[in-house]
């Protein structure tokens, strides 16, 4: 049985990349770690998002 170590490492790498990204790199990080059909489900007022450019602009950038 797997410990999911590979999957855990991917998630940690994603969070570390987002945490250390400058404002101009957030979209690039999202593109590196997600797929074209990525769906991001968030609470109000963000709701369901499917475009990494919108996600980075509305949710991650100050």
Q: What gap in Å lies between CA 56 and CA 37, rounded to an integer?
A: 16
- Return the pLDDT at 60: 86
- For residue 49, the cross-strand partners are 40
- Return the pLDDT at 1: 58
Q: How many domains does the chain have?
A: 1
The tokens for 46 are: 């963000």
Residue with tokens 């998630």: 11
Statement: residue 62 has pLDDT above 80: no
Neighbours of 46 (CB within 10 A): 13
- Return the pLDDT at 61: 83
How does pLDDT run across 11-50, given as a tens digit for each residue? 999 999 999 999 999 999 999 999 999 999 999 988 999 9
Q: Cα dihedral sign for 48, 53, 56, 61?
A: negative
Give me the domain span that covers residue 37.
5-60
- Return the pLDDT at 20: 96
- Return the pLDDT at 45: 87
């Amino acid at each position: 049985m797997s410990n999911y170590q590979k999957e855990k490492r991917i998630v940690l790498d994603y969070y570390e990349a987002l945490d250390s990204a400058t404002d101009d790199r957030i979209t690039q990080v999202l593109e590196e770690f997600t797929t074209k059909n990525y769906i991001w489900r968030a609470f109000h007022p963000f709701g369901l998002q499917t475009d990494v450019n919108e996600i980075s602009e509305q949710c991650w950038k100050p």
